[in-house]
């Protein structure tokens, strides 16, 4: 394992991903973790991330210099580099000489461990106010910039390395190569970590955890729960039961995809609960978005727990485990870092006796989203599930502006299927984050179709590009693709006589309309 010590900001996660891209397993630990505890994890190498602080600031995160004496290879980046320089006796000046953004790096020793085979001049991404003016004793300076005399230093004997810039960001043109040089040449690691290893390891861990008891897993139709379930299924087979609640708010073919393709690919026990009528009844007469969301959430929990109760009452070993598709970013963001959880999830909503406790099984807790997709692919899940774009839990219920009825859902399902089909045919699935299709059920406009006047509903296309759904921009889709979608929807979907495009970014608009 390579430990990435997190000094704040967003850098540590990106570094951990880059290390894994180099096929070496990595984990993030907080900078507050005592060095003895880090070393107890027996790390093959340690990377010190960048961070928002200056080493001169009061209260800036520190590092126990014992880390550099332990014989473990260390690579410091940006703030991590400055900490290293300072603790090992180099000079870090608070000169006010700042460098932000793209900077030219002059490599003075192109045969060095870090820079072997990379050009003498390269672009790197900088973000610092302090600068290292003298390397610690025993270190060789291997690169500089116009502003900082020491932009990289290396000590092969002690296996300590550092760069002032951010090799992990893609604007540093040879960043990945420099990182790999540290891992392979500096630390002597071999690139052997793959998602295949993850599957093997997790299967063994799940078997050990669950033993001969049973587990249940809720499937939402999304990537994470599907991959988690497939992995657990591989480990414990028929001891797992998956529950899928069909609330009738899914898109065309989605329920079938779970019912047929998921089961075909995994052989899992699947309990599909048809709750369409129940949801429609509960939603009758409701137009307010927040009320709709609350009703859908409440009914979902009730139905799911009823299904759990039925499984608990079946003959067989005790059901003691609940499978969840928690990912690594969730764990890191909630301050978890590492450590195995043995969280009890207390289920006392709905019809369950309140003394039932499940232990969580979270086989994806070490993985990033793109790795989850790779694991899913390797487990043989169909492309439609593995590459699925985000889709809200309340489904089409929050894409009908107005009351939700069966008729309107069917209409929206048709329009949405056409839009998805044409976007896929145009090869645009990977270019957009998602494309909600919205029915303005309470709006009507006049049109002319065939030889008569129509008075139908508009459909809104909301294609967006985004990296994390926190902000988004509307996607500039090619006009001919938009034209094709519009023509097909107005021709093929009854009661729709207009297609409009949403050209609002987020903020101010949210991605969904409700």
Which residues of this protein are in contact with ligand XMP, per CB under 6 A? 390, 392-394, 434, 469, 506, 510-512
Q: How far is the CB of 509 from ligand XMP (least distance, A)?
A: 8
Annotated catalytic residue within 27, 99, 128, 166:
166
**Angle subtended at Cα 83 by Cα 81 and Cα 88, rounded to the nearest 5 degrees:** 95
Residue 217 is a catalytic residue: no
| Ligand-binding site membership of 221 (annotated) | yes
- Shortest gap between Cβ of 326 and ligand XMP (angstroms)? 14
132 is catalytic: no
Q: State the catalytic residue, choosing from 168, 299, 362, 371.
A: 168
Task: Name the active-site residue from 78, 217, 242, 435.
Answer: 78
Question: At closest approach, how far in Å is the CB of 465 from ligand XMP?
Answer: 12
What is the phi/psi pair of residue 416, to 5°?
A: -65, -40
For residue 293, the minimal CB distance to ligand XMP (Å) is: 6
**Nearer of residues 95 and 510 to ligand XMP, judged by Cβ:** 510
* Centroid of chain to Cα 201: 21
Pick 289 or 336: Cβ nearer ligand XMP: 289
Residue 224 assigned to a binding site: yes
> Torsion-angle region of residue 161: left (phi > 0), alpha (psi -120 to 50) or beta?
beta
Which candidate, 163, 131, 166, places its Cα nearest to that of 9? Answer: 166
- CB closer to ligand XMP out of 43 and 394: 394
According to the annotation, is 226 in a ligand binding site? yes
Separation of alpha carbons 280 and 499, rounded Å: 26
Q: Which lies closer to ligand XMP via its Cβ, residue 72 or residue 404?
A: 404
Cβ(469)–Cβ(447) under 8 Å? no
Q: Residues 219, 232: contact at Cβ < 8 Å?
A: no
φ, ψ dihedrals at 388, nearest 5°: -60, 140
105, 109, 113, 119: CA torsion to nearest 10: 50
Question: 132: which strand partners?
Answer: 92
Contact 128, 56 (CB under 8 A): no
Collapsing DSSP to helix, strand or coil, 117 comes out as coil
3 state DSSP class of 398: helix
CA angle, 180 then 184 then 187, to 5°: 110
Nearer to ligand XMP, 318 or 431 (CB): 431
Nearer to ligand XMP, 78 or 415 (CB): 415
Instruction: Please report how close the Cβ of residue 295 comes to ligand XMP at its closest, in angstroms.
Output: 12
Beta-bridge mates of residue 359:
321, 344
What does each C-alpha distance from 84 to 6, 48, 88, 172 come to in angstroms?
Answer: 14, 9, 6, 21
Distance between CA atoms of 235 and 250, rounded to whole angstroms?
A: 29
Active site residue 166: yes
* Cβ at position 392, least distance to ligand XMP in Å: 3
Phi and psi at 273, nearest 5°, equal -100, 115
Could you give the residue numbers annotated as active site? 78, 166, 168
Which positions make up the binding site for ATP? 220-226
């Amino acid at each position: 394992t390579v430990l990435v010590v997190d000094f704040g900001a967003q850098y540590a996660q990106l570094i951990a991903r880059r290390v894994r891209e180099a096929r070496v397993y990595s984990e993030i630990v907080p900078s507050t973790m005592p060095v003895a505890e880090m070393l107890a994890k027996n790390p093959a190498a340690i990377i010190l991330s960048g961070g928002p602080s200056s080493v001169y600031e009061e209260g800036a995160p520190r590092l126990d210099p014992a880390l550099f004496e332990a014989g473990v290879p260390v690579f410091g980046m940006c703030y991590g580099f400055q900490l290293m320089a300072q603790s090992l006796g180099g000079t870090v000046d608070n000169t006010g000489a700042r460098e932000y953004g793209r900077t030219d790096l002059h490599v003075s020793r192109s045969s060095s461990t870090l820079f072997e085979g990379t050009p003498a001049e390269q672009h790197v991404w900088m973000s610092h106010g302090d600068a290292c003016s003298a390397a610690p004793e025993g270190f060789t300076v291997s690169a500089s910039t116009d502003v900082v005399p020491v932009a990289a230093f290396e000590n092969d004997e002690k296996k300590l390395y550092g760069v002032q810039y951010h090799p992990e960001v893609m604007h540093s043109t040879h960043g990945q190569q420099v990182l790999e040089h540290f891992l392979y040449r500096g630390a002597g690691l071999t690139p052997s970590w793959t998602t295949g290893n993850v599957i093997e390891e997790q299967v063994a861990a799940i078997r050990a955890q669950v033993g001969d008891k049973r587990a249940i897993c809720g499937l939402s139709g999304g990537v994470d729960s599907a991959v988690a379930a497939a992995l657990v299924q591989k480990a414990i087979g028929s001891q797992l039961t998956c529950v899928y609640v069909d609330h009738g708010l899914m898109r065309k073919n989605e329920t079938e995809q779970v019912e047929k393709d998921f089961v075909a690919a995994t052989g899992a026990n699947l309990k599909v609960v048809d709750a369409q009528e129940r949801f429609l009844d509960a939603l009758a007469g409701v137009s307010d978005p927040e009320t709709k969301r609350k009703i859908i959430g409440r009914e979902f929990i009730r139905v799911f727990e009823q299904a759990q109760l039925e499984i608990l009452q079946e003959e067989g070993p005790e059901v003691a485990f609940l499978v969840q598709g928690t990912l690594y970013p969730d764990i890191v963001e909630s301050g978890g870092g590492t450590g195995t959880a043995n969280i009890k999830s207390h289920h006392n909503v709905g019809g369950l006796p309140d003394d039932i406790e499940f232990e969580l099984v979270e086989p994806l807790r070490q993985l990033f989203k793109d790795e989850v997709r790779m694991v899913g692919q390797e487990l043989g899940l169909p492309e439609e599930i593995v590459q699925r774009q985000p889709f809200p839990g309340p489904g089409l219920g929050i894409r009908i502006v107005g009351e939700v009825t069966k008729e309107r859902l069917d209409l929206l399902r048709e329009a949405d299927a056409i839009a998805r089909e044409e976007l896929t045919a145009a090869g645009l699935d990977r270019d957009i984050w998602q494309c909600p299709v919205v029915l303005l059920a309470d709006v009507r406009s006049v049109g002319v179709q065939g030889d008569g006047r129509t008075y139908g509903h508009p459909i809104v296309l909301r294609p967006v590009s985004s990296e994390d759904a926190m902000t988004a921009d509307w996607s500039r889709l090619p006009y001919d693709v938009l034209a094709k979608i519009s023509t097909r929807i107005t021709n093929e979907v009854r009661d729709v006589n207009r297609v409009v495009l949403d050209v609002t970014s987020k903020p101010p608009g949210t991605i969904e309309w409700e």
